Amino acid sequence: MARVNENYLKLPGSYLFSTIGKKVAAFQEANPDKTIIRLGIGDVTQPLAPEIIKSLHNAVDEMGKAETFHGYAPDLGYEFLRKAIVENDYKARGCEIEADEIFVSDGAKCDSSNIQEIFAADSKIAVCDPVYPVYVDSNVMAGRTGVYDAKAETWSDVIYMPCLESNGFAPELPKEVPDLIYLCFPNNPTGATITKAQLQEWVDYANKNNAVIIYDAAYEAYISETDVPHSIYECEGARTCAIELKSFSKNAGFTGVRLGYTVIPKELICDGVALHGLWARRHGTKYNGAPYIVQRAGEAVYSEAGKAQLKDQVAYYMNNAKTIKEGLSAAGFSVSGGVNAPYIWLKTPDKMTSWEFFDYLLENANVVGTPGSGFGPSGEGYFRLTAFGTYENTLAAIERIKKL
């Protein structure tokens, strides 16, 4: 008799954004005349940059001719893309990463959820609280998180690192030593970052305790301050303790195109085994490569024209972030983030819960955000707004909130 993976049955409720989607759809159905502004999900709104479109068109034409047609991509990704990544994302920042340490994929969501597969089933994970839900849920599915406490909204075998106003939304080194540490900076959902010196403490801690850091740098392009690291490999010793995840979704608008990569340095040894080899084996068995067309588009991200166009695109979103942050501050809200990240993290007014504020905002301003509690118990009483809308919608949303 076929049986299901019972770990899936332990997952509480539905995925955060499906719940939001259902609530918004119900509100719209009941109020067809209202125009809803969505500043909830972290999806981009600006079209792909012209240089990327040009590259996509060229690659499509290549696929139409026998001489330039491409079938399965190489397991790790095309050399032209991995070289461009190494030159621009690493060498240019003084980080030592080789092209064969890059594994091209279809995005950071898949990589951040799949990476746990190469670690022991009883590995103890540590996550920030609040956190991008994928890290925890993928470990739940793998049976690694113990028993769920519905009241506390925590798992018995997960180490939670609260990120609160009192610690500047930066996690503290956990007293109980984890095997795997998930870090994401600039952070989703808080929009907070840590300095290079702070990240160095994590690298030292991981090396000292034989832990592995899974560093999600999906929002790296939004860093504006100089002491914030763009890659964990800027820290000394990171090659022996850190895996880095990158995405083309937020820096280049590839949420619907799909491209990302994972870096596993060859010196990263766990239990006497090189993780690079394990991930290569996993990648080779379970993944057949990002499309040639998309990898060519990824290459265009690193061209001079592409870089200039994307700098403008990031600036466009960061102008929205500024508009939200300044507008809400002026309206008396307590806000953080939005300086090195496209997320604004605000405290709900009048001690409303995150979901109460969600409903309040939806009903009274017809604006959709994301309840902080959906990202973990320490997110309760907070609310996330994204800067990924259009400028016009962002401005209109803030004007509506100001009038409440």
Part of the chain binding ligand PLP (CB under 6 A), chosen from 108-116, 230-238, 284-292, 347-355 = 108-116
Site residue total, ligand PLP (CB under 6 A): 14
Q: Which is nearer to ligand PLP, 306 or 327 (CB)?
A: 306
Fill in the per-residue mask, 158 to 197: x = in contact with ligand PLP (CB under 6 A), - = not in contact. --------------------------x---x---------
- Residue placing its CB nearer to ligand PLP in the complex, 354 or 366: 354
Which residue among 16, 20, 39, 42 contacts ligand PLP (CB under 6 A)? 42
Q: Is 301 in the site for ligand PLP (CB under 6 A)?
A: no
Q: If binding is defined by CB under 6 A, does position 384 make contact with ligand PLP?
A: no
366 lies in the binding site for ligand PLP (CB under 6 A): no
Minimum gap (Å) between residue 257 Cβ and ligand PLP: 9
> Closer to ligand PLP at the Cβ: 112 or 348?
112
Phi, psi of 80, deg, nearest 5 = -60, -35
Q: Which is nearer to ligand PLP, 250 or 325 (CB)?
A: 250
> Of the listed pieces 10-18, 247-255, 281-289, 290-298, which binds ligand PLP according to CB under 6 A?
247-255
Q: Which is nearer to ligand PLP, 109 or 296 (CB)?
A: 109
Residue 359 identity (one-letter amino acid): D
Stretch of 90-98, 103-111, 161-169, 389-397 lying at the interface with ligand PLP (CB under 6 A) = 103-111
Cβ pair 293, 284 in contact under 8 A: no
CA atoms within 13 A of residue 33's CA, in its CB half-sphere: 0
Tell me which stretch binds ligand PLP (CB under 6 A): 89-97, 101-109, 385-393, 395-403.
101-109
**CB closer to ligand PLP, 255 vs 366:** 255
107 near ligand PLP, rule: CB under 6 A = yes
**Residue 370: burial class (beta carbons within 10 Å; 0-12, 13-18, 19+):** buried
- DSSP code for 234: G
Dump the DSSP string for 314-365.
HHHHHHHHHHHHHHHHHTT--EEE-SSSSEEEEEPGGG--HHHHHHHHHHHH
Task: Give min distance, CB of 310 to ligand PLP, in A.
Answer: 15
Q: Which residue has the tokens 């962002």?
A: 394
Minimum CB separation of residue 116 from ligand PLP in Å reads 14
Contact call for residue 108 and ligand PLP (CB under 6 A): yes
- C-alpha distances out from residue 266 to 246, 277, 279, Å: 18, 8, 11
Contacts of 346 (CB under 8 A, 6+ apart): 328, 333, 334, 335, 336, 382, 383, 384, 385
> Is residue 132 a contact point for ligand PLP (CB under 6 A)?
yes
Q: Residue length, the chain?
A: 404
DSSP code of residue 403? T
Q: Which is nearer to ligand PLP, 126 or 365 (CB)?
A: 126
Per-residue b/e over 229-259, b at no fewer than 16 CB within 10 Å? bbbbbbbeebbebbbbbbbbbbbbbbbebbb
- Give the CB-side neighbour count of residue 313, counting CA atoms within 13 A: 25
The tokens of 188 are what? 């989703």
Site stretch for ligand PLP (CB under 6 A), options 77-85, 102-110, 304-312, 355-363: 102-110
Q: Is 122 left (phi over 0), alpha (psi -120 to 50) or beta?
A: alpha
Least separation in angstroms between residue 109's CB and ligand PLP is 3
Query: What DSSP string runs through 129-170?
Result: ES--THHHHHHHHTT-S--EETTTTEETTEEEEE--GGGTT-
Residue 243 in contact with residue 268, Cβ under 8 Å? yes
Residue 186 beta carbon to ligand PLP: minimum distance, rounded to whole angstroms: 9
- By CB under 6 A, name the binding residues for ligand PLP: 42, 107-109, 112, 132, 184, 188, 216, 218, 247, 249, 255, 260
